[in-house]
Amino acid sequence: MFRDQSKSAGRSETSAETPFLKLLARGASADAYEQPVLLARADGTAAGRIAALEDAKALALRVRSEMEGRRRREAELSALFETAHDLAGLRDLDAVLQAIVQRARSLLSTDVAYLSLNDPARGDTYMRVTEGSVAARFQQLRLGMGEGLGGLVAQTARPYVTDDYFRDDRFRHTLTIDTGVRDEGLVAILGVPLALGPHVIGVLFAADRRARVFERQEIALLGSFAALAAAAIDAANLLTETRQTLADLERANEIIGDRSGVIERASDVHDRLAELVLRGGGVHDVSAAVSQVLDGTVRFADAGAAPGDAVEVSRAEGHAVRHGDDWVAAVAAGGELLGALVLDGQPGLDPVDQRTLERAAMVTSLLLLARRSAAEAEQRVRGELLDDLLDARDRDPRLLRERAARFDADLDSVHVVLAARLDSPVADADQEAAARRRLWSAASHLAATRQGLAAARDGGTVLLLPLGRGDTATELARRTARDLGTAVHEAVTVGASAPVRDLAARPETVAEAYAEGQRCLDALRLLGRAGDGAAAEDFGFLGLLLAGSRDIPGFVERTIGQVVTYDEKRGTDLLRTLDAYFACGMSPARTKDELHVHVNTVAQRLERVGRLLGPEWQSPARALEIQLALRLHRLSSSASPGQH
């Protein structure tokens, strides 16, 4: 009879879940999950059956919410990838900005999204792109600088959000702005800055016609779109400037029509550079093309390798300048020096050829910025995947593997988590922020070349790198510290975890490994080993004394865990023998008197210990660790009721 009741209960529980599984399968709305419970109540179903339905409904709603969150995250990443792709192949700025605003509105599910740009000539800001707007006056707004929520964002270069615009007194209301917002019917507004370096050039907004609280991840998502929009604007401005300079070159060709040889060379370089821009060529392609046209050797030099004085003069004047028998044209954008084009051994350069070299430098800056924008977008998405692993947000192994595969990363291979931090003193907060950005950029590049991941975290950078066959966590940490230090020209300290496996199936191990890497990093800094790299295995018991979080059970397990397990499984007395052996000065004869056993018994037990702990277990360093582990094990056992 009891067995029949159990079977009946099992059938009841299964049938209670069935309608909700069907709702999940067809993607029903949340309201539809109330229907099975309401029908059961209407039919007078027993209370136990209704309770089972309620439990099944709650579980199904949680599953539905989790699935919705994952779909939303995947849509966000897909939209960022598409936007980065649009930016890499930038042709029409308006089309790219419209796509960014449309995707932001769709992913944040807002009524309206819009983008405003600053107008330095008129000293105000104006609407550039809107999506979902219905009010003509709102679409044509021009605002004075510092007015409204957008003015607050532009002044502080920080995101601002209001859940009720007309009741928010943190920013200055004006009749013009309030009228436009009222015409559009907006209530809740989120604005994030469009920034090029330290300069805010506009604001990206998402707004609803009802009260709403924007979540932190929504603010971060809109910020990512704003970064891509700023990069698109910057690239478009450079492209426009390049087109203008190429047009200037064409006009110069018309003026000097009597110099056919020069005209042919200028026309040739114009065609070559235009083709390079259109097909996405690289810096070396530009150098090779200009070398052929100018009948010389043109090379690209990084900012640190270019002739310093000549580059600064060229940068200030905007022209190529002579440097001995060479000519130097600075490659710069937005006040940042990216490098220089150097024409070797051509002291008598024709003015038109000089102009050609200058235009080539302009095209080179455009190509470098386009590559940087695309690389930064990819680095940001790589960092988001690592952030999700560290926070264990996405526990679906299939989705994690698919996201990692986009970056040629394999989460099923053995990895090491590394915590990296700069150790050089900085003068102020701005320099510190700049140094951290350099570290993040170098770490992202290193992760991309080694099929890993990198993200900025806790004032430093965390990397997830695969461990090669025959490699160790210690060697990887030291190599990473050396490579990052060389890239940023500062000392970088790196702490590494022990190797971790099955990251897709057990993402929580990434956070645990990161904490271990941070403890190693703290230990290195306390020991005065700045600029070095090390793993947990390098410290032994010193890690317990130096690290901020003392993993006593882990240390005991690593040191004498095999002996403890052996005693528990076989009822032997190896631990007590070890205690007595060390207490008696490592003398077998005195140990047998302490334990009241034959000396051969002591020898047999110590031989078994040697097989479990390894042949070096009696060396001074290992013996010290084993004695400490024995003491810690004894203390922890005496503190736990029921243990001996």
Whether 392-540 and 90-242 are alike in CATH topology: the answer is: no
| Cα-Cα end-to-end distance for the chain | 45
- Whether residue 116 contacts residue 442, with contact meaning beta carbons closer than 8 Å, is answered with no
For 398, phi then psi, to 5°, come to: -65, -45
For 190, phi then psi, to 5°, come to: -120, 130
Q: Which residues contact 579 (CB under 8 A, 6 or more apart)?
A: 630, 634
pLDDT tens figures, 514-565: 888 888 888 788 777 888 998 877 766 555 554 444 566 777 888 888 989 9
pLDDT at 203: 92
Please give the distance of CA 459 from its chain centroid, rounded to a whole number: 13
DSSP annotation of 428: S
Residue 64: count of CB within 10 angstroms of its CB: 18
For 615, phi then psi, to 5°, come to: -65, -20
CATH class of 280-374: alpha beta
Say whether pLDDT at 125 is over 60: yes
pLDDT tens figures, 31-82: 888 888 888 888 888 888 888 888 887 887 787 777 666 666 666 666 666 6
Q: Which residues contact 551 (CB under 8 A, 6 or more apart)?
A: 516, 519, 543, 544
Amino acid identity, residue 112?
V
pLDDT at 267: 62
pLDDT at 585: 87
Banded pLDDT at 11 (limits 50, 70, 90): very low
Q: Which residues contact 408 (CB under 8 A, 6 or more apart)?
A: 451
Question: Is the pTM of the predicted complex or chain greater than 0.85?
Answer: no
Burial class, 345, CB count within 10 angstroms (exposed 0-12 / middle 13-18 / buried 19+): exposed
Compute the average pLDDT of residues 364-381.
Answer: 61
Tokens of 149: 């929520």
What is d(CA 115, CA 206) in angstroms, rounded to the nearest whole number?
Answer: 9
DSSP string, 290-353: HHHHHTSEEEEEETTTS-HHHHHHHHHHTS-EEETTEEEEEEEETTEEEEEEEEET-SS--HHH
Pairing of strands 492-496, 124-131: unpaired
111 or 316, higher pLDDT: 111
pLDDT at 12: 46
If we measure between CA atoms, which residue out of 222, 268, 277, 221 comes closest to residue 249?
Answer: 268
What is d(CA 477, CA 500) in angstroms, rounded to the nearest whole number?
Answer: 14
pLDDT at 190: 93
Say whether pLDDT at 113 is over 90: yes
Residue 496: count of CB within 10 angstroms of its CB: 33
Banded pLDDT at 235 (limits 50, 70, 90): confident
What is d(CA 441, CA 444) in angstroms, rounded to the nearest whole number?
Answer: 5
What is d(CA 198, CA 193) in angstroms, rounded to the nearest whole number?
Answer: 11
pLDDT tens figures, 126-147: 999 999 999 999 999 888 877 8
What is d(CA 323, CA 341) in angstroms, rounded to the nearest whole number?
Answer: 12
* Torsion 414-419-422-428 (CA) sign: positive
What is d(CA 575, CA 601) in angstroms, rounded to the nearest whole number?
Answer: 14
Compute the average pLDDT of residues 241-269.
Answer: 68
CATH number at 90-242: 3.30.450.40
Say whether pLDDT at 452 is over 80: yes
Say whether pLDDT at 240 is over 80: no
What is d(CA 631, CA 644) in angstroms, rounded to the nearest whole number?
Answer: 13
List strand residue ranges (DSSP E) for 87-223, in order.
112-119, 124-131, 142-144, 160-162, 188-196, 199-208
Pairing of strands 492-496, 533-535: parallel
Q: Report the greatest alpha carbon distance in the chain.
A: 114
CATH H superfamily, domain 552-638: PucR C-terminal helix-turn-helix domain (1.10.10.2840)
What is d(CA 431, CA 425) in angstroms, rounded to the nearest whole number?
Answer: 10
Q: Which residues is 643 bridged to in the sheet?
A: none
pLDDT tens figures, 182-202: 999 999 999 999 988 888 889
Q: Strand, helix or coil at 569? A: helix
Compute the average pLDDT of residues 151-168.
Answer: 89
443 or 296, higher pLDDT: 443
pLDDT tens figures, 22-44: 777 777 787 888 888 888 888 88
Banded pLDDT at 1 (limits 50, 70, 90): very low
Pairing of strands 297-302, 112-119: unpaired
Query: What does the mean pLDDT of the chain come to?
Result: 79
Compute the average pLDDT of residues 322-348.
Answer: 77
611 or 322, higher pLDDT: 611
**Most confident option among 292-296, 465-469, 505-509:** 465-469
Say whether pLDDT at 394 is over 60: no
Say whether pLDDT at 232 is over 60: yes
Q: Which residues is 52 bridged to in the sheet?
A: none
Q: Which residues is 493 bridged to in the sheet?
A: 421
pLDDT at 490: 87
Domain ranges of the chain: 17-69, 90-242, 280-374, 392-540, 552-638
Amino acid identity, residue 249?
L
What is d(CA 221, CA 304) in angstroms, rounded to the nearest whole number?
Answer: 35
> Which strand ranges, in their side-by-side order, compose the sheet holding 415-422?
453-457, 460-466, 415-422, 492-496, 533-535
Pairing of strands 188-196, 160-162: antiparallel
CATH of range 392-540; options 3.30.70.270, 3.40.190.10, 3.30.450.40, 2.40.50.140: 3.30.70.270
CA atoms within 13 Å, Cβ hemisphere of 617: 22
pLDDT at 392: 64
Compute the average pLDDT of residues 456-484.
Answer: 89
Residue 405: count of CB within 10 angstroms of its CB: 11
What is d(CA 459, CA 518) in angstroms, rounded to the nearest whole number?
Answer: 12
- Tokens 């701005």 identify what position? 430
pLDDT at 6: 42
